[in-house]
Amino acid sequence: MIFIDTCFGKKSDVMPIWMMRQAGRYLAEYKATRARAGDFLSLCKDYKLASEVTLQPVDILDFDAAIIFSDILVVPLELGLPLRFEAGEGPVFDEIISSEIDVEKLNINAASKLIYVYDAIKLTREKLASNKALIGFCGAPWTLATYMIEGKGSKTYAKSKRMIYENPALAHKLLAKITEVLKEYCENQIKAGANAIQIFDSWANALEPSAYLEFAWKYIQDLASYLKTKYPHIAIIAFPKGVGGFIECLDAKIDVLGVDWSTPLQVAAKTPYVLQGNLEPCRLYSKKAIKEGVEIIKELTKDKAHIFNLGHGILPDIPVENVRYLIDCVRNA
Amino acid sequence: MIFIDTCFGKKSDVMPIWMMRQAGRYLAEYKATRARAGDFLSLCKDYKLASEVTLQPVDILDFDAAIIFSDILVVPLELGLPLRFEAGEGPVFDEIISSEIDVEKLNINAASKLIYVYDAIKLTREKLASNKALIGFCGAPWTLATYMIEGKGSKTYAKSKRMIYENPALAHKLLAKITEVLKEYCENQIKAGANAIQIFDSWANALEPSAYLEFAWKYIQDLASYLKTKYPHIAIIAFPKGVGGFIECLDAKIDVLGVDWSTPLQVAAKTPYVLQGNLEPCRLYSKKAIKEGVEIIKELTKDKAHIFNLGHGILPDIPVENVRYLIDCVRNA
């Protein structure tokens, strides 16, 4: 698999490419399957339909890797927090974590309840061509904790940050518990057939550098070490979004570092990892901007193993034709 | 004025301190005046009340500088876009900019309509002690443009970024027009008595580095050069939020660079500017976290002129007592 070889540092003639949110609303086929499933969470929980939308972008657009269709918030859900998705509002947890008792009540066996994810991975791996990689994933402990403390997306993350400054012991207790569940969750994804695991730390940018290292990266280190020791052949990718100011401090047993569009690849190249990224997703609105963006990334990575990706997820209103054009630009001179 | 001396590089025994949003809801006195004014925009437009809330934090907490109470969006408002503030939703423009004609219709004489800001500055400067500085401000062209293109706050800034990639000429036309108005607006603030001008580029982080330089920083350079050439004794502060990954590329005729909490001061110190910042605002929830945060900043800036500030605005639920404690930590060993 060119994707996995590249994760482990092997430079190929043509960069492997996949896109965050490649199974998503820009594809008519995704929207059709989603309509059959009903709501978003039902699609996550139906392993056959989840597998179907996972395979669509590879079948239709020939990406080098599939990423299992799911949501990072299935973990807090199975930890015991009822989850709903509100139109316009995004995910909402009506119960939140604010005390020691709340943390103790969380179901430490959450990973055993995520069978629908493992079944989707198993089925997808069976159907996927052998030269295509299948990526499993999870939200990073800090990002999951913010949702569990805030109850929904936040502009300020004030509740979560108040906890780390006012009651750091409680925050660490919550983060450690999430991390233990994630170890088992990722391990089960690997056993089901995932060839790589991506850890999404979407709200990395909410923390100042010292707090990020103590309350977020530390748990990614722990999770990555656990997986790497047991499964050295599985590629581990971390994607801490918005940490360009201190990316050089990020040391862990990962193979690949995902780079968002606001961090120059030249800066990220100071880390020892294979890089993944980082085309600005809005360049996909314009073919001229796509071509220019791809050329810049090709030039910056010409001597290195590099995984082509966007700097964040693809937006729903991007024309599929432009995605085809992007892939063509990446693969051809 | 210790604040202005520091902006120009003079190291003092005690760091000058002010806080973004220091005239704000954490102060009971602010809330009382705001209630008398009615809605937020009425407070901005009533120069006596705007001056009153500007002076409150200096009178009550003894900051070294006042920042005129206003909003960056009064400029788009006077450019001709009706503005309303919706509870929970934030600012909303019902008319947005999407075409050449929209840009042409904007009122190039907007600065002449902002008399209420100049009157508030004049009155405040009269009342403020002579050792306290008065800061005027504006939103940076890019940040103002995003509001004018999106119509409201955005998670993705997709409309604005679509414009810069699909129709860069239109984006430049809009940005240039905003910049011309800002030159006159800032100049009038200086004539009314402002001792410094801060340029807030709150959505700097939305752009990839190359686009930031071309569509955002370029216009800050233009504005700063204009003001610096005519008013060399006025301190110019730029605050581009979230650009830690490429802060070293930011060259302009400014005196001070505002640093957000996610950018390490050590990284920002590679620029030639006096720095301002960057205590994580949520540290204000905890005295222990305040003390520790202040000590780190003192240690990092012990040999340099530095303006103490938060890395972003103060949050409404911070106890005033903790702000007093912060000021005490900054002023005393």
The residue-averaged pLDDT of A200-222 equals: 98
Which candidate from A158, A209, A285 shows the least CB-CB separation from B264? A209
pLDDT at A68: 98
* B255-275 tens-digit pLDDT: 999 999 999 999 999 999 999
Q: What percent of chain A has pLDDT over 90?
A: 97
pLDDT at B18: 98
What does the DSSP 8-state code read for residue B234?
A: S
Global pTM reads 0.97
* B34-55 tens-digit pLDDT: 999 999 999 999 999 999 999 9
Beta strands (DSSP E) in chain A are 65-67, 83-86, 90-93, 133-139, 196-201, 235-240, 256-259, 274-279, 306-310
Residue of chain A whose Cα is closest to the Cα of B264:
A245
The answer to whether residue A283 is catalytic is no
- Taking CB atoms and an 8 Å limit, are B264 and A245 in contact across chains? yes
What does the DSSP 8-state code read for residue B257?
A: E
The residue-averaged pLDDT of B198-207 equals: 97
The residue-averaged pLDDT of B188-214 equals: 98
Residue B80 predicted with pLDDT over 90: yes
Half-sphere exposure of B2 (CA within 13 A, CB side): 18
- Provide the shortest C-alpha distance from residue A154 to chain B (in Å): 11
Which residues between 152 and 171 in chain A have a beta carbon less than 8 angstroms from any beta carbon of chain B?
A: 156-158, 161-162, 164-166
Which candidate from A157, A158, A267 shows the least CB-CB separation from B245? A267
Residue B205 predicted with pLDDT over 90: yes
* A132-179 tens-digit pLDDT: 999 999 999 999 999 999 999 898 999 999 999 999 999 999 999 999
- How far is residue B311's CA from residue B280's CA, in Å, rounded to a whole number? 5
pLDDT at A167: 98
- Provide the shortest C-alpha distance from residue B166 to chain A (in Å): 6
Residue B105 predicted with pLDDT over 90: yes
Q: What share of chain B is helix, strand, coil (3-state, %, to 5)?
A: 55, 15, 35
Helix (H) or strand (E) holding A168: helix A168-192
The residue-averaged pLDDT of A252-280 equals: 98
Which candidate from B162, B244, B285 shows the least CB-CB separation from A285? B162
pLDDT at B87: 78
Residue type, A42: S
- Summary mean pLDDT of chain B: 97
Do the Cβ atoms of B265 and B302 come closer than 8 Å?
no
Residue of chain A whose Cα is closest to the Cα of B249:
A264
- How far is residue B299's CA from residue B286's CA, in Å, rounded to a whole number? 20
Report chain A residues whose CB lies below 8 A from the CB of B280: 161, 207-208, 211
Q: Does B282 touch chain A (CB under 8 A)?
A: yes
Residue of chain A whose Cα is closest to the Cα of B291:
A165
- Taking CB atoms and an 8 Å limit, are B158 and A317 in contact across chains? yes
Q: In terms of residue numbers, what domain contains A311? A: 2-331
Task: Count contacts between A and B (CB, < 8 Å).
Answer: 96
Distances in whole angstroms, Cα of residue A227 to Cα of each of A113, A156, A180, A230, A290: 20, 32, 12, 5, 36
pLDDT at B88: 76
Do the Cβ atoms of B278 and B317 come closer than 8 Å?
no
Per annotation, catalytic residue among A5, A25, A102, A162: A25
- Taking CB atoms and an 8 Å limit, are B166 and A247 in contact across chains? no
Q: Which residues of B are catalytic?
A: 21, 25, 34, 71, 147
Q: Is residue A89 very low, low, confident or very high in pLDDT (cuts 50, 70, 90)?
A: confident
- How far is residue A91's CA from residue A79's CA, in Å, rounded to a whole number? 16
- How far is residue A85's CA from residue B143's CA, in Å, rounded to a whole number? 30
| Nearest of B196, B203, B206 to residue B156 by alpha carbon | B206
The residue-averaged pLDDT of A55-61 equals: 98
- How far is residue A106's CA from residue B291's CA, in Å, rounded to a whole number? 34
pLDDT at A86: 82
Q: Any idea what the CATH number is for the domain that residue B237 is in?
A: 3.20.20.210
Do the Cβ atoms of A178 and A221 come closer than 8 Å?
no
Residue of chain B whose Cα is closest to the Cα of A265:
B245
The residue-averaged pLDDT of A204-221 equals: 98
pLDDT at B89: 78
Which candidate from B211, B262, B315 shows the least CB-CB separation from A245? B262
Number of domains within chain B = 1
